């Protein structure tokens, strides 16, 4: 078994190696080479994560990793690092992709709720030093808004006025919408350019899964959990 990966920098000193053949599987590190080197162990952890959710997929006994794409993301005039579009992102999603992504979205949201549902309100709103989103609640609001934003990149978002100020409701709104839209993403070949970035349906789903997984891990660190 050979797993293809693509590597790009998403922030200064923050590189991600995306496993194209496994939705929601990625490795991150401070350098390009470290990200690539950590992929085999990340794949093993990914299958352990699937097993923890009773997913039927089995980890391969042997596999290799192939660096299929390597992108140095351009920095725009305002210092914003553009989100890379890999050639693999141009592949239209299949019905099988959509079904798998739907299930993974259930898992990532279960993981998030298992982490936050028992957090007392004062801890949810406690300021976190150096955190752009200010608090755990701020991070949750960011997760909900970003999920909407990804669909906006391909002109398929709902009217942002439909969001309420209630953060749990915002999370539910964006996730329910994402799942409802999965059938509409199947077979879509269009690539949309906004703000010098190119977006596709596959890229939107790649980033959506990554975003929730990454921020769930971030919240765990803030709570002092492994």
Residue recorded with tokens 């350019």 = 193
Q: What gap in Å lies between CA 43 and CA 148, rounded to an integer?
A: 28
User: From first to last of its 226 residues, what are the pLDDT tens digits of the chain?
Assistant: 999 999 999 888 899 999 999 999 999 999 999 999 999 999 999 999 999 999 999 999 999 999 999 998 888 877 888 899 999 999 999 999 999 999 999 999 999 999 999 898 889 999 988 888 899 999 999 999 999 999 999 999 999 999 999 999 999 999 999 999 999 999 999 999 998 899 999 999 999 999 999 999 999 999 887 6
Q: Are 92 and 60 in the same domain?
A: no
What pLDDT shows up at residue 146?
A: 98
Determine if the pTM surpasses 0.85.
Answer: yes
What pLDDT shows up at residue 122?
A: 87
What pLDDT shows up at residue 226?
A: 64
| Domain stop point among 84, 106, 132 | 84
Q: Are 65 and 106 in the same domain?
A: no
What pLDDT shows up at residue 143?
A: 98
Query: 60-63: long-range contacts (C-beta < 8 A, 24 or more apart)?
Result: 60/1, 62/1, 63/1, 63/2, 63/3
Q: Are 52 and 103 in the same domain?
A: no
- Structural domain range at position 141: 86-226
What pLDDT shows up at residue 164?
A: 95
> Residue 151 maps to which CATH number?
1.20.120.450
Q: Are 216 and 226 in the same domain?
A: yes
Q: Look at the chain and report how many structural domains it folds into.
A: 2
What pLDDT shows up at residue 81?
A: 85
| Domain stop point among 84, 104, 138 | 84
Q: Are 76 and 90 in the same domain?
A: no
| Domain stop point among 32, 65, 84 | 84
- Please, which residues bridge with residue 144 across strands? none
What pLDDT shows up at residue 48?
A: 97
* CB contact set of 134 (below 8 Å; sequence gap of 6+): 127, 128
Token pair for 100: 């798998």
Q: Are 6 and 69 in the same domain?
A: yes
């Amino acid at each position: 078994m050979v797993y293809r990966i693509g590597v790009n920098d998403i922030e200064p000193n923050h590189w991600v190696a995306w496993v194209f053949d496994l939705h929601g599987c990625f490795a991150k590190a401070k350098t390009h080479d470290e990200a690539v080197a950590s992929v085999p162990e990340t794949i093993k952890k990914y299958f352990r994560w699937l097993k923890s959710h009773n997913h039927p997929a089995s980890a391969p006994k042997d596999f290799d990793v192939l660096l299929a794409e390597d992108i140095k993301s351009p920095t725009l005039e305002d210092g914003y690092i553009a989100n890379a579009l890999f050639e693999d992102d141009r592949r239209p999603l299949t019905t099988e992709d959509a079904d798998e992504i739907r299930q993974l979205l259930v898992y990532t949201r279960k993981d998030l709720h298992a982490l936050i549902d028992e957090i007392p309100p004062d801890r949810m709103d406690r300021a976190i030093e150096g955190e752009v989103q200010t608090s755990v609640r701020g991070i949750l609001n960011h997760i909900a808004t970003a999920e909407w934003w990804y669909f906006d990149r391909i002109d398929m978002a709902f009217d942002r006025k439909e969001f309420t100020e209630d953060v749990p409701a915002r999370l539910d709104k964006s996730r329910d919408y994402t799942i409802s839209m999965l059938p509409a993403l199947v077979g879509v070949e269009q690539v949309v350019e906004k703000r010098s970035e190119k977006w596709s349906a596959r890229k939107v789903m790649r980033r959506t899964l990554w975003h929730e997984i990454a921020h769930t891990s971030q919240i765990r660190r803030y709570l002092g959990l492994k």
